[in-house]
Amino acid sequence: MALPTIPPYALPRAEELPAPRAAFRLERQRAALLIHDMQNYFLRVFAPEAAPLAPMVGNIARLAAAARAAGVPVFYTAQQGAQDRRDRGLQAELWGPGMSRAPEHQAILAALAPAPSDIVLVKHRYSAFQRSNLEALMRARGRDQLVITGVYAHIGCQLTAAEAFMRDIEPFMAADALGDFSRAAHDGALAYVAAVCGVPLPTARLLECLS
C-alpha cells in the first residue's frame, strides 16, 4: 500500500515525445497552469538532488513564473492529511491512510510555494476536477486549456488530462515537468495522453507559448 521508493531516471527529451493525435495549439490567453500534488508527502520518495525531481521542480518553477508574468492563472492541488476513511474512499484500499497533518507531509514544496495570486484547490480524488471547482474557476477566467505539471504522471496527472478533455478543456502535459514511479510509467502516461486526449510538450516549447 505504501508509496514506492523511486529510483532516479532521466526526464524525456523533446525528440522522445510521442506524436499527439490532437492538433491543439496552446494559446496564452486561453491557458491555465496546474501544479499537481507537489507536496512533501508525495515527493519524499524521490532522490532529492537527482532526476526526475530536481529538474522537474526547476521546470515547474519556470512555468509558474512565466504564467504569472503573462497573467495566466496558476492552480495547485493539495491533499489534506488525516483524511476520514469515508472521505478517502477506495483510495484507502490501494494506498492506505495517506498523509498525516504534519507539515512535513502536507506542505507544498517550498521551492514551489504558491504566490498570493495563485489558487490552491483541495484534492479529493485522482483527477483534479473531482469534487473541486477547477472547471468553474477556469471558465470564469475564460480559460479552456490546461497545462499539467507535477506528480504522479500516470495517476492523477493522466486522469486530470482525460477528464479535462471530457469537459472540453484542451489538456497539455508538460512532459519534463512531471514525475512518476519510473521512466516506463512516465512514458506510458505521455503515450496515453498523446493517443486519446491531449498534447505532451517540453517546458521550452510551453515557455515560448506563454511568453
Q: What is the CATH number of the domain that holds 153?
A: 3.40.50.850
Domain that holds residue 191: 26-210
Domain count, the chain: 1
Residue 68 corresponds to which amino acid?
Answer: R
Does residue 93 lie in a domain region? yes
pLDDT of residue 81: 59
Per the listing, cell 512565466 goes with: 66
Cis omega (within 30 of 0) for bond into 55: no
pLDDT of residue 1: 58
d(C-alpha 146, C-alpha 163), whole Å: 11
The tens-digit pLDDT sequence of the chain (211 residues) is 578 899 999 999 999 999 999 999 999 999 999 999 999 989 999 999 999 999 999 999 999 999 999 999 999 999 875 577 777 777 766 776 767 676 777 889 999 999 999 999 998 888 999 999 999 999 999 999 999 999 999 999 999 999 999 999 999 999 999 999 999 999 999 999 999 999 999 999 999 999 9
pLDDT of residue 103: 73
* Residue 53 in grid coordinates: 525531481
Does residue 81 lie in a domain region? yes
> Out of 37, 176, 180, 187, which one is annotated catalytic?
37
Q: Are 145 and 27 in contact (CB under 8 A)?
A: yes
Does residue 44 lie in a domain region? yes
Cis omega (within 30 of 0) for bond into 9: no
Does residue 16 lie in a domain region? no
pLDDT of residue 101: 75
Q: Is 37 a catalytic residue?
A: yes
Backbone angles phi, psi at 162, to 5 degrees: -65, -40
d(C-alpha 199, C-alpha 67), whole Å: 18
CA distances from 151 to 21, 71, 96, 142, 154 (A): 23, 24, 18, 26, 8
Q: Are 123 and 157 in contact (CB under 8 A)?
A: no
Q: How far is CA 133 from the centre of its chain?
A: 16
In this prediction the pTM is 0.94
Q: Are 106 and 77 in contact (CB under 8 A)?
A: no
d(C-alpha 103, C-alpha 23), whole Å: 42
Q: Are 64 and 182 in contact (CB under 8 A)?
A: no
